[in-house]
Amino acid sequence: MRERRWETTQPMSFAQALAVGERLAALGLKPAAPANDVICYVEEWTVTSPEDFDHLDPWATEDATLVHVREHWRGDFFLLAGAYHTVYQRYQDVGTYCSVSHPWRTREPLRLHEPKHMLWLGFRHAHSFVRVRLQTSQVITPGETRGDAERGRWLDERRAAFLDAIAVLELPVETAVEKDAVVLRPHDQSIPFFCSWPDAFGPCQFEYNTSDAFEFLVPASKLAATLAPEPAGVRAYLTGFSEEALAEFQSIEAGVRFAYRCSVHCPLDDLPEVLSAIHPDGRLYATLCEFQTQELVPEGEDASAIIGIVGFNGSFQIEARLNRAPLAEEAMAGWLERVIGHPVVYAPLPAFV
């Protein structure tokens, strides 16, 4: 589900971040204590080689994914994805996963949706998939009414953007509007087909699966080509592979930056040490407190809120994520500042990292 997100505006020490937890406790909420075990999510941790993951050995980790990052790339997506698939075939197993992402562009400019979106061509055990995600000009989450005055345009643009991708990929998928939201369905209902990442107007993402590992190589390359002649930010995601396999993936093409993402199980108090281990580029996030907003603003709409600690560049900040805004837009920042005790700014997460 799409989220609304605000973050504090100035770097803070870890002690200041923990003090936010004390402030939340004084409001009657139940934040994590420093000694509590938490799940810390690590992203964008640039490494020189896959072996650098050993820096996290002091803690239990899971869901480790090595990301091959290519910036300003102008290559042939068919050849690149095919090369990853060739290596994948040699090492595939039940727990392995490989996907390659590439931006694509809609045929016509849209006002409420961005011109550039993302596709993933992926390979899992015994099947492959193509995933398409749309980026909107603003985030209006399910249940919010801010976009109701232009709902018709939102729905028309959403269908048009999806239909662009569906046509290029030549997928047997139909779109419709039901109950004031866009819906997508494959012609063959037995096909594994998933819609996700919903906002107030329907899903922003779909995934179409097939047992034919080669079926989407050419269609996905055609969709990637809609970005031309602009260079692309391309990423390959590798999960569950041996060191031998990762070494072979490294040989596919030069000019790659390696980055890890994973989950770390640790006491909240260990976050500074984890941040030091992933220095200088890594980012971490851990939940400090979860609550329903009507606990603090009974007069507002009820929303699920998460206050989290974010670490990067040797310092910390606080973020607030909500499944919807419980108050009017103009009141949200001020209310969150009173809850957190620090100035905040609206800061939606990037859609495609």
Per-residue tens of pLDDT for the chain, all 353 residues: 789 999 999 999 999 999 999 999 999 999 999 999 999 999 999 999 899 999 999 999 999 999 999 999 999 999 999 999 999 999 999 899 999 999 999 999 999 999 999 999 999 987 999 999 999 999 999 999 999 999 999 999 999 999 999 999 999 999 999 999 999 999 999 999 999 999 999 999 999 999 998 999 999 999 999 999 999 999 999 999 999 999 999 999 988 999 999 999 999 999 999 999 999 999 999 999 999 999 999 999 999 999 999 999 999 999 999 999 999 999 999 999 999 999 999 999 877 76
Asked whether residue 278 falls in the same domain as residue 342, the answer is yes
Count of residues in the chain: 353
My answer on whether 57 and 81 are in the same domain is no
> From residue 334, how far is each of 102, 310, 346 by CA, in Å?
38, 20, 11
In a domain, 277, yes or no: yes
Based on the fold, state whether residues 59 and 79 are members of the same structural domain: no
Pick from 214, 230, 246: which residue ends a domain? 230
183 and 285, same domain (yes or no): no
Judgement on whether residues 80 and 226 belong to the same structural domain of the protein: yes
Same domain for 57 and 88, yes or no, is no
Question: Does residue 344 lie in a domain region?
Answer: yes
- For residues 54 and 81, membership in a common domain is answered with no
The whole domain housing 114 covers 75-230
C-alpha torsion angle, residues 235, 207, 247, 95 (rounded to 10): 150
Verify that 107 and 174 share a domain, yes or no: yes
CB neighbours of residue 148 within 10 Å: 12
Query: Which residues make Cβ contacts (< 8 Å) with residue 19, sequence separation at least 6?
Result: 341
Whether residue 165 lies inside any domain: the answer is yes
Whether residues 113 and 199 fall in one domain = yes
CA distance 62 to 44: 16
Closest CA to 291 of 21, 40, 19, 38: 21
| Tokens describing residue 43 | 């992203």
The reply to whether 99 falls in a domain is yes
Residue 82 half-sphere exposure, CB side, CA atoms within 13 Å? 11
Pick the last residue of a domain from 230, 250, 285: 230
How far is the C-alpha of 211 from the C-alpha of 224, rounded, in Å? 22
Cα atoms in the Cβ-side hemisphere of radius 13 Å centred on 107: 11
In a domain, 130, yes or no: yes
Residues 189 and 326 grouped into a single domain: no
Same domain for 215 and 93? yes
pTM for the full model?
0.94
- The reply to whether 16 falls in a domain is yes
CA-closest candidate to residue 242, choices 346, 345, 349, 90 = 90
Number of domains in the chain: 2
Digit-coded pLDDT (tens) for 216-273 = 999 999 999 999 999 999 999 999 999 999 999 999 998 899 999 999 999 999 999 9
* Residue 293 is assigned to a structural domain of this protein: yes
- Say yes or no: 216 and 333 in one domain: no
φ, ψ of residue 33 in degrees (nearest 5): -85, 160
> Per the domain annotation, does 68 fall within a domain?
no
